[in-house]
Structure 1
């Protein structure tokens, strides 16, 4: 049986850098092609022969990495645009046949994600899309474990390696779930983007201050202290941020070994060495936990404790997946012709699967934040949709102490200013409506055009 899988040492590079592919496989013919994600995708290299051998999966590869030898090296040409690239590995038998890879199974087609940053940030676009690479690492169970119990026999791992297959593709909440659609939509609208990763947000390369707008798309759940510090400073200096994402900035992570490992103890935060040392500013629990006392609301305006699920985890499974507009006169709704109380986005269920909210009260028929949960005082709720936590979470210490609302929640799309402007869609699935729903398209374009 033919199969192939692989990974690259650095997920994010600049032109002139050399990428190193590590792969394992069996087959008579093994090759790779590289495509830039666009609408349609653009082939950059095609059917380049590579030589691979059948490599073992080491014990605890999920934590220490695959450790496979370098199969192929390539210097990124100077003229490659900043963007997302798919390295497609193929292994064929003597009959020139191959079959698609299935998650957690060996197969003869395997895709590897590559992000190319701009050599000079903001040189081709004032907009930076930083992909949720920390979330890819957290959910990836290649090698036997992830940071989750559901796909980790024997229990989740608090430490995961970034040096293994399955990152970006073949993992839950991967690049191809939301960000790929967003990039293709922007390409169709002739909106240039430059790309980077969560880890780049953490290290903040020279020139990142030159961007006007930084985007978060999809499921941007895992954030380091460096990521938050850098983005909050960016906003304080007048930079704009748009969270077309949900469950954002939920769990705290630390990077080790120059980004080769990611640490997050999550529910077992008391086992984190930083807990005993009382280094709570980098404790890997929920950002909203009182020991950290830095709820995600203070950055995005909303948080998961006051939000929850919609059409997922047995919650609102028959929900319509729509938002209700509350402030249709706001500039984000220009050109939509929405009226107060009208719903939008339901045809493509943009509400879900995980949503963020804030504490609020009704005044003159409209929701207004109470701001007792870290939400900025000038945050304006523009639209809402129902969501709530699934049952059982209220029995777990870390969630209880972080203020989850089991009885109900509400996704709160909104906006605030703190020198820079911050918009939040408060839902993971916003991108599912792009190119399909003219109202979702119009809101997205209004935000990008205003903030870029």
Structure 2
């Protein structure tokens, strides 16, 4: 077997990284290619010597500490973007890793896509476990999901390979959404192609993170290839490590599944919006979990539900839900919405017969200009545009019949609800076996409503996916409220495309 990782994953032209690899069929070839509207190879190396190095038992938390097989310098002509690193051994086996190339200083564009790398690391189970589960035990079939979840690891090293089905799946990987409504008395299912998942031994975590064949690549192919847009790339950790990382930019974009955020990352994004920047969230389940980086980005701390009991007693550095009252910073103050008030749609038995699209309530909203939309229209139902994970807010209706936000858990008073659809935070009891990993409903109900009773938990189960915007400071936030927005662009849905163009065209208000 061949496996590899880069000891640094975000670099500017002229900077170097070590490519660490292990295999017993050396030497290997290395190919690095930018994946944008097209796949463009920028470097090929042959005959790179690789040793057969042991994998430490604690590789998930402590890393592999393999020596670098080769040092590689980012070329001056490498455009900012996502780069696929492919290492192929003499037996023809290939392992992949990634590199984010940043713009050279002083040559930045005005728009930047922030790769959701914190989420990638949280889901990465190379070595056996991730932040969710003992995935190896689960896939071996001897451990039920609730027991396997007790084997989750809260200290995650970046100095190890990625699970290949997560980072570089084979062609044809299905979406994490049921493409059709559940039929009468049909058993619920999860995902677009169960047969593909079985044939490729896909884990429950492979479709939830990563760039290739996932939301971010889908968006980039539309933005670069169809629209001809040019923009830079950063990683989540870049925002954590550099307080001035967003200074050159007017528009910051998060796509797909930006679930895990650190405190310094939030500081940078909130300051950017407050001084007049445009925060464009084409993501669902955004900033749900708080994480912490240590050792210069070599280790991400993510204890999730166990954070408050596993962390230092001061608490503020702990990892848990961003909405936990200990932190005083619910994510909705930044994003406008929260997964706590949203949930799943067209997955398992969560709104299994949902429309898969937004019902429009504010057709005169600026984001809908020229979109030929009217009150009560449904958009995206053929995509489907709503599925997997979605963010929302508590909702009331004003005396004109328009939905209005309930200002709870940081949801801003000035949030404008453009469209919405039902969502479910978890599956309810039914004759069917649950398919979605269970959440701690009592904890969520206590945070959301101050009521952990069964009645409070029942309230959590009923949510909405919401598309919305609001003004924050001198800037604005647009939130699509769904992980699946990029697939609406890939489908060339004219309503989704027009809304996206309007959002990207709205001027920032930077002083």
TM-score (norm 2): 0.81
Per the alignment, residue 104 of structure 1 pairs with none
1:161 counterpart (140, 157, 162): 157
- The partner residue of 1:195 within 208, 233, 247 is 233
CA distance change for structure 1 residues 319 and 92 in 2, over 3 Å: closer, same or farther? farther
Q: Report the CA distance between 1:212 and its aligned residue.
A: 0.2
2:366 is equivalent to residue 331 of structure 1: yes
Q: CA 1:402 to 1:194, structure 2 compared with 1: closer, same or farther past 3 Å?
A: same
- Whether contact under 8 Å (1:285, 1:398) holds in the other structure is no
Other structure's SS at 1:432 match: helix
Following superposition of structure 1 onto structure 2, how do residues 244-393 of structure 1 map, counting pairs within 5 Å?
A: 244-274=282-312, 277-279=313-315, 281-363=316-398, 364-391=400-427
Q: Gapped runs of 5+ residues in structure 1?
A: 99-107
Is residue 2:464 matched to residue 1:410?
yes
- Give yes or no for the alignment of 1:174 onto 2:210: yes
Structure 1 counterpart SS, 2:240: helix
Number of matched pairs: 433
CA distance in 2, matches of 1:205, 1:16: 22
For residues 82-161 of structure 1, what are the structure 2 equivalents within 5 Å? 82-93=80-91, 98=92, 108-120=93-105, 123-149=107-133, 151=135, 153=137, 155-161=151-157
C-alpha distance in 2, partners of 1:394/1:124? Answer: 41
Hey, what does 1:70 align to over in structure 2? 68
Residue in 1 that maps onto 2:145: none
Distance in 2, Cα, partners of 1:428 & 1:136: 15
Partner of 1:45: 43
Provide the C-alpha distance between the structure 2 equivalents of 1:410 and 1:340, rounded to a whole number of angstroms. 18
How far 1:343 moved relative to its partner? 0.8
Post-superposition shift, 1:352?
Answer: 2.0
Q: Distance in 1 between matches of 2:5 and 2:443?
A: 34
Superposition deviation, residue 27 in structure 1: 2.5
Which residue among 223, 229, 249 is the counterpart of 1:186?
223
Tell me the residue number matched to 2:506. Answer: 450
TM-score (norm 1): 0.91
- In the alignment, structure 2 segments of 5+ residues that lack a partner are 138-147, 169-205, 429-437, 449-456
Aligned to 1:22: 20
- SS for the counterpart of 2:261 is strand
Which deviations, in whole Å up to 9, do the C-alpha atoms of 1:307-343 show, x marking residues without a partner?
1011224312332311111111112112221111111
RMSD, aligned CA: 1.9
Name the CA distance, whole Å, in 2 between partners of 1:397 and 1:261: 30
Does the CA contact (< 8 Å) of 1:313 and 1:390 recur in 2? no
> Of 478, 485, 509, which aligns to 1:430?
485
